[in-house]
Chains A and B, each alone.
Chain A
Amino acid sequence: MICAIVPIAQTVGANRVVRGVAIPHPTGDPSIEKSGEVDIRKKLLTLALKGLESKIEEQTVYKEES
């Protein structure tokens, strides 16, 4: 699940969570150009895909490695 408010996702039982950008635009950022937004979306989806292929025992939040 891509969701801006991770604690809510966890409270309702979501197991694989990626932190979205913001509530009204979880996979967008109106303050930047569209090409930048598409990059953000690709990054978020890539994290989500990583979650889908990971074996987990408990709720996990997927973040970009810094």
Chain B
Amino acid sequence: MEKIRVVHYINQFFGQIGGEDKAGIPPQMKEGPVGVGQAIQKESNDRFEIVRTIICGDNYAAEHLEEVEPIVLEWVRQTNPDLFIAGPAFAAGRYGMACGTMCKAVQQKLGIPTITAMNQTNPGVEEARKYVYILEAGESIQDMKRTLTKMVSLAKKIVDKTPIGLPHEDGYFPRGVRINVRAEKRGSRRAVEMLLKKLKGEPFTTELPLPKFDRVQPAQPIENLSKAVIALVTEGGIVPKGNPDRIEAHNASKYCKYFIGNLNDLTGEAYQTVHGGYDPVYANEDPDRVLPLDAARLLEKEGAFGKLYDYYYVTVGNVTAVASAARYGQEIGELLHKDGVQGVILTST
């Protein structure tokens, strides 16, 4: 069987350069496989040959997408591979967005087949699943072996142009593509049977799931800002030093409320961040860089708004399940509303 020449895109961590502290590195390339790339080659029994690895910091990719994309495209174009693989990104949001975006660009602009893998909670899924085969992966690298096996298997089908199964068969996120299949029974019969089941309260499987858009009805604007009570809320994990309520660094099980009514500024001596998903150095030096209390107080004194609420709410939005985060938001919103707050400024990292 012919060798499949591959270009592999990974982040600074899988590129063995560093962790969050290196998330700002610009794109660089190495000839041959790096780290996980070697595992991919092995998984394919060496049929896949990673000829080039492109490494880019997650923050750099997220913040400079328009510059990174053409660089990646050029490096891919130079080697003219048979396949482009990105990740796996698991639940890492910035990484998943970069993987999805790079795959989409390579596929659409260079016509080269691509594949990536990430967890269903990854925002990269919504960004790219309509354009790219995204294999469904677990939350973390504990799922690496299984993910690589499935990814290599699907990638081979893509390159060899052998028939690819339905999403649940081959383990990828539905791309919204419709193919014609011949059913045993005609549509009218299937519809009536489904309706009868529904009427009897029996389980049934819909043939067309209604789309779920994450859209929220915009709240009404604040009418009189100069009299309004505004609250600061953050998912950036800013807590009193020592993390007295033990908010977790990832997949937070709670949110907390802290008094700031007598403060004009957050200092690194009294506060810290406990968020495990970004480089904490800057926030620990000056927590206002994530929860902007000092500027909020100045604006309050200048009359830009009525009053700053005496407390702030905090959680950690790192690999925190969307359902949990939505519940925290709902509860925090209700608590603030009950306490007379009219508007919230939420900072996110």
* A residues at B contact (CB < 8 Å): 1-5, 7-9, 11-16, 20, 22-30, 34, 37-38, 41-42, 44-46, 48-49, 52-59
Known: A15-B219, A23-B63. A1 touches B282 (CB 8 A): no
**Contact of B290 with A26 in the complex, beta carbons under 8 Å:** yes
Give the shortest distance, in Å, between B304 (CB) and chain A (any CB): 6
| Most chain B C-beta atoms within 10 Å of own C-beta, residue among A14, A22, A24 | A24
Neighbour of A23 across the interface among B278, B294, B304, B305, CB < 8 A:
B278
* A25 and B292 contacting across the interface, CB-CB below 8 Å: no
Whether B221 contacts A52 by the Cβ 8 Å rule is yes
Picked from A5, A14, A41, the residue with its CB within 8 Å of the CB of B97 is A5
Residues from chain A with Cβ under 8 Å of B59 in the complex: 22-24
Tell which of B223, B281, B343 touches A24, judged by Cβ atoms closer than 8 Å.
B281
B219 surroundings in chain A (CB, below 8 A): 15
Task: Find out whether the CB atom of A46 lies under 8 angstroms from the CB atom of B289.
Answer: no
Q: Chain A nearest CB: distance from B306 CB in Å?
A: 11
Instruction: Tell me the B residues contacting A by CB distance below 8 Å.
Output: 20, 23, 59, 62-63, 93-94, 97, 123, 126-127, 214-216, 218-223, 225, 228, 230, 236, 278-283, 285-286, 288-292, 294-296, 298-299, 304-305, 322, 343, 345-349
Name A42's contact: one of B63, B126, B127, B295 (CB within 8 Å): B295
B123 engages A13 (CB within 8 Å): no
Q: Is the CB of B218 within 8 A of A42?
A: no
Give B329 Cβ to nearest chain A Cβ, in Å.
10
Inter-chain contact A48/B345, CB cutoff 8 Å: yes
Instruction: Give bound CA distance, A11 to B121, whole Å.
Output: 12
The distance from the CB of B228 to the nearest CB of chain A, in whole angstroms, is: 8
Known: A49-B305, A53-B221. A28 touches B289 (CB 8 A): yes
CA distance A56 to B219 in the complex (A): 8
